[in-house]
Homo-oligomer: A and B are copies of this chain.
Amino acid sequence: MKLKTILKKAFLLVGFFGLLATSAIAQFQQDPVVSPEIHDDGSVTFRIMADTADSVKISGSWMQGFGAAEHLEIGEKGIWELTISDLKPDFYNYSYNVDGVRTIDPHNPWVIRDVRNTFSAFILPGKESENVQLSDQKNGTIHEIWYPSPTLNMDQRRMKVYLPPNYNESDEDYPVLYLLHGGGGDENAWTELGFADRIMDNLIHSGKAEPMIVVMTNGNPNQTSAWHVAPGHQPARETDSPNPMATERFEESLVADVIPFIESNYRIKSGKENRAVTGLSMGGWQTQKLSLKHPDVFDYYGVMSMGIIEETQFGMDAQAHLELTNQNISDLKESGYQLYWIACGTDDFLFESVNNMREVLDSHDFDYTYRETDGGHTWDRWRLYLSEFAPMLFR
């Protein structure tokens, strides 16, 4: 076939299937550049077509340290390439830097967003990444819902609700895990970055966890939803800074608005023995606050990667929190709870804050379970912690 004929056919073919005209042809032609390519031995080759570039680097979530990057080498036809070995099966993300400009991998359609940055994504299959793989058995359901929040003076806020695999087929009532994200995150974080739905599906199918509902709402009291869902309905960008997240307004709204909404809209087992809360980083701080201020609401607490800080420059009054802790621990002990679980990685820059918390708790003879892992302040830890925390609930 002549080139012109091929191009004409390609154009017809592509346009025919209803694509954006400006990007059409590239979409259906087999992309000549495959990236990332996952090899049978578990190594991964990253590529990018950049024939006029002087330098291409990759930064990946498997690399240690801020700003870590590796150079790709240019090969044939302007395609830069790097093969990485010895990665553990897991979910990973990465970005390129082409001549000083950060970019996602243009050959990989899977893109995730973390706070304000976008990354290309892949799963390296294997035993250790089974919990983030789609189950072969019946999957659970995700509801994207808007709920009223009088406490935050908002007519509606967005949340995601995970229903376990057989919710729709059964008449049973279920316990609920309230799953909180970190600073800068939003109601999408635990599904898009934490794979909470798949982890729960896999844990439930294997009998490791009880069937439960998981509620993921937006922990930033100055947002109605993930920013991009409602750009015209958000506070000005200047107020997107972390400080408003550190108030206790979200915790108040969780107890006053979210829990009643969930319990009147889903088939829920009532009582604190059927409620758990866990969160990472800012969500771990909020979990502590909930345990101290609302000791009658939950029976299970999971504090991930967060302790008691001494600095106050974050707009979160650490000294007041410490005093609250001292005051309210006896209330919490008196009210009782099934599990107070604290997890942190030894490389986490908040590891010391967790030590601070443990000292305070120990000084009160407060019962808790401590789980120390390797690793830092990253999503691979929080996926692991959810996989370990959920099986301990509602037994």
* A residues whose Cβ falls under 8 Å from a Cβ of B: 9, 11-13, 15-28, 30-31, 48-54, 59-61, 63, 65-68, 93, 95, 98-104, 106, 109-111, 113-119, 121-123, 125, 133-134, 136, 138-139, 141-146, 155-156, 168, 181-185, 227-233, 237-238, 241-242, 245, 265, 280-283, 305-306, 309, 311, 313-314, 349-350, 376-379
Contacts and interface: CB of A to CB of B under 8 A. Distances in A.
B49 A9 contact: no
Given A99-B53, A230-B134, A9 B313 contact: yes
Contacts of A350: 15-16
A389 to B, nearest CB: 16
Contacts of A114: 19-20, 23, 27
Given A12-B311, A99-B98, A183-B16, A118 B109 contact: yes
B101 A104 contact: no
Contact of A19 (B182, B227, B283, B306): B182
Nearest to A315: B13
A53 B50 CA distance: 12
Nearest to A306: B18
Given A99-B99, A265-B168, A17 B134 contact: no
A101 B106 CA distance: 8
B143 A21 contact: no
How many identical chains are in the complex?
A: 2
Contacts of A17: 182-184, 242, 245, 281-282
A58 to B, nearest CB: 11
Contact of A283 (B18, B133, B231): B18
Contacts of A231: 110, 122-123
Contact of A27 (B98, B117, B141): B117
29 contacts: A11-B66, A12-B311, A16-B183, A16-B314, A17-B182, A17-B183, A17-B281, A18-B283, A19-B182, A19-B183, A19-B184, A22-B61, A23-B117, A27-B116, A27-B117, A50-B99, A50-B100, A52-B100, A103-B103, A103-B104, A103-B106, A106-B118, A109-B115, A110-B228, A111-B111, A136-B233, A139-B156, A143-B144, A144-B144
A374 to B, nearest CB: 14
